[in-house]
Structure 1
Amino acid sequence: MIKTLLFDFGDVFLTLDKFATQTHLKRFGITEFNKEMLIKNEAYEMGLLPTKDFIAYYTEKFPQLSELDFIHAWNSILVDFPTHKLEFIKNLAADNQFELILLSNTNELHIQWVEENIAVFSEFKACFDAFYLSHEIELRKPDEAIYKFILNNHLRKPEEILFVDDTKANTEAAAKLGFKTWHLKTGEQDVVDLFNVNWHLI
């Protein structure tokens, strides 16, 4: 029996344009994230690198890139928050049938943008029993440790949790531990259809 609904944030609730950052950076001659850059990005996502150091890494590596240019490019992935998704999670919270947890790979710059530009964010966050951001807990998906963190913190068995994420690697990692999962296909599926798609699990 499912007792907990565990949700991703980006492209499950918050609309993303996942190619926007690299599109913006190409204007400054940065055509791709190389291995070193990806390592820095992941470290930042896990809260292991302060924001000022993260920005400095890019602006020093690419002198043509100003701090403001980089922040704009970095945050351009973030688009908006559809109101029908807010109503969905508010109704779930009001029903009080499931424990609701959010688990997101994100970073300080992105969350600052969300807090400043998504008017419903506080209302959205208040719907959850727990709200875990990778840079705050220093863990990230799809590492096994982050799923064990959820299990230990909430005293759940894996089969009592339904995990919804738009990244297949994340749901596959959770499924290996016994979580029930829904790999939500962005552009084809909507989180508000959760019970239609997963009726047999709920």
Structure 2
Amino acid sequence: MLGLPKATELHKQLPKKAIYAKFQMNMAAKEKIDSDISRITIVNEISPAKVHIAEGKQVKTFFVALVALKKKDFDERTIVTISKLIPQNMLLVLEYGEQAKLAVYHTKLMQTQWQVKDSFTLLLKGLTLDAVWENIVVQVGNFELKSGTSLDEQIAVDDRRKKLGKEINRLDKLARKEKQPKKKFELAQQINKLKGELGIL
């Protein structure tokens, strides 16, 4: 799967009942997971022994899990819950019918677009598993990691950029509809201020 080396392949089912029991989940939380997910299978283990990449300071090994979804419009909070419950770095392949998307949780849930499920390939780039994992988060999150910026900082900057973009669009629409010159001017000033902030990021 994902064009990863054969040595990394596993087929280890993660029974949902075991997850519920281990984390003593209440009925509502169980029902949420049950309504979105039919099964979870660990399909790859990326470790120094399997890919000949040195372990990192933070990441000693990570896994790829195939999550078979019951519906395409799943609740993202379910995927966040699963990611937080499993105490491992985990790349999720969310599969529905003939389509799939990649998801990873790192300070927030990041996902790719839906694609034909066999069209994904994952590049293991980096000299240590810390770097490889960082590159996977960047690939899935579809952002650029600037030199001298940590992964967490870059994610926060990227989030801020998206929020500013949305707010600029919202104010722009208001400014177009506004009839009063004074109000229109105030909106234009707000837009310019936000654009200035966006330019700094």
TM exceeds 0.5?
A: no
- The structure having more radius of gyration, on CA atoms, is 2
Q: Which has the higher contact order (CA 8 A, sep 6+)?
A: 1
Q: TM-score, normalised by structure 2?
A: 0.25
TM-score normalized by the length of structure 1: 0.25
